[in-house]
């Protein structure tokens, strides 16, 4: 286990020879991944580099993987693929209604009938790799995205070269809990419309963001506006939440993994308590656990170098194992 503050700028190991500023960025493209489901995705870097699939969390479009971070990862030798999960951004919105009573029951018991599961979302990511002709990739996921990449590794371990799980948890209900102080904001009625979403989203990020690396109000508002304009779906968030609260405990299957793994978690995370990160690192053999002082439930720009170096270091371990 280690703890960290922002790393000093520098070229991570495994970096490509591509000059800074010359990262190839694709248009936003679309991939059919299962009957009725199409994912919007975008790539950074060269297909000849190490494939890295980035998976975002609850209600988050792929643009929450900041373009600057994606370009830094590409310059570190990765072919970066970011995408909108189903029910997010420009990807397919599922036609299924979830009632709040279903969510309450699921929160209480962990059981409810869900339109889809985290297994389905993990298979979406694997199918996107199929679409791109990629047999196996490094994977990194944030929050719900961390749950998804863990699930990908459990379902198809031969297709995951290395795994980085960020501010996430194992599905065990006694770890990774939310701070009780968030409850009033989480259960408050949501008013419809763009401005109402922007205000509530910006307010939430102010609370759950990193106290050691605070963002300014304009940045939070701009991010919320972009999220709404990409195709925010309140019902989609409900469906994703139901998939999260009905997920199984992955602790036992995670113990069988033989891939290099990295767990990154903020010590100031109010949305997913650091116990979730510790439990993940404990479950996967040989995991490196990186705990960051002052980091909450976001990915501050001040930590981009830290994230890049951690993901690159984990991928390099996979290369060493294969030699």
Percent of the chain with pLDDT over 90: 81
pLDDT of residue 96: 85
Task: Choose the weakest-confidence range: 20-34, 55-69, 141-155.
Answer: 20-34
User: In the chain, helix, strand, coil percent, each to 5?
Assistant: 40, 15, 40
21 — pLDDT class (breaks 50, 70, 90) = low
Which residues on adjacent β-strands are paired with residue 282? Answer: none
Which sequence spans correspond to the domains of the chain? Answer: 2-182+234-322
Strand order across the beta sheet in which 288-292 lies: 2-4, 288-292, 261-266, 160-166, 137-142, 50-55, 78-83, 37-44, 29-34
pLDDT of residue 13: 35
* Contacts with 300 (C-beta within 8 Å, 6 or more apart), sequence order: 209, 210, 213, 215
Collapse the DSSP code of 159 into the 3-class scheme (helix H, G, I; strand E, B; otherwise coil) and give the result: helix
Contact criterion met (CB below 8 Å) for 298 and 208: yes
Residue 31 has pLDDT above 90, yes or no: yes
Give domain 2-182+234-322's CATH superfamily: Alpha/Beta hydrolase fold, catalytic domain (3.40.50.1820)
pLDDT at 1: 60
Q: Is the pLDDT of residue 161 over 90?
A: yes
List the one residue out of 235, 246, 312, 306 whose CA is nearest residue 110: 246
Q: What average pLDDT score do residues 80-105 get?
A: 89
Residue 18 is predicted with a pLDDT of 43
> pTM value?
0.91
Banded pLDDT at 187 (limits 50, 70, 90): low
């Amino acid at each position: 286990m280690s703890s960290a503050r922002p790393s000093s700028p520098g070229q991570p190991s495994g970096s490509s020879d591509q000059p800074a500023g010359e990262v190839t960025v694709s248009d936003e493209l679309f991939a059919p991944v299962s009957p009725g489901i199409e994912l919007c995705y975008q790539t950074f870097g060269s297909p000849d580099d190490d494939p890295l699939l980035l998976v975002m969390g609850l209600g988050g479009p792929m643009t929450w993987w900041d373009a600057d971070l994606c370009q830094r990862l590409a310059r570190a030798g990765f072919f970066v693929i970011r995408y909108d999960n189903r029910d997010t951004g420009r990807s397919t919105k599922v036609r299924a209604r979830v009632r709040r009573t279903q969510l309450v029951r699921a929160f209480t018991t962990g059981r409810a009938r869900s339109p889809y599961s985290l297994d389905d979302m993990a298979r979406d990511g694997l199918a996107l790799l199929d679409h791109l002709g990629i047999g196996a990739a490094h994977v990194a996921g944030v929050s719900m995205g961390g749950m998804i990449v863990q699930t990908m590794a459990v379902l198809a371990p031969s297709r995951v070269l290395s795994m980085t799980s960020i501010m996430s948890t194992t599905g065990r209900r006694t770890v990774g809990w939310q701070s009780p102080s968030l409850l009033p904001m989480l259960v408050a009625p949501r008013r419809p419309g763009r401005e109402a979403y922007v205000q509530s989203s910006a307010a939430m990020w102010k609370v759950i963001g990193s106290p050691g690396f605070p963002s300014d109000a304009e940045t939070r508002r701009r991010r919320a506006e972009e999220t709404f304009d990409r195709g925010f779906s309140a019902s989609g968030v409900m469906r994703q939440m139901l998939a999260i609260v009905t997920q199984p405990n992955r602790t036992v299957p995670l113990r069988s993994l033989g891939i290099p793994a990295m767990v990154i978690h903020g010590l100031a995370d109010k949305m997913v308590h650091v116990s979730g990160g510790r439990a993940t690192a404990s479950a996967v053999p040989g995991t490196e656990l990186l705990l960051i002082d002052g980091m909450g439930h976001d990915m501050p720009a001040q930590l981009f170098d830290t994230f890049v170096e951690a993901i690159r270091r984990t991928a390099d371990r996979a290369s060493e194992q294969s030699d």
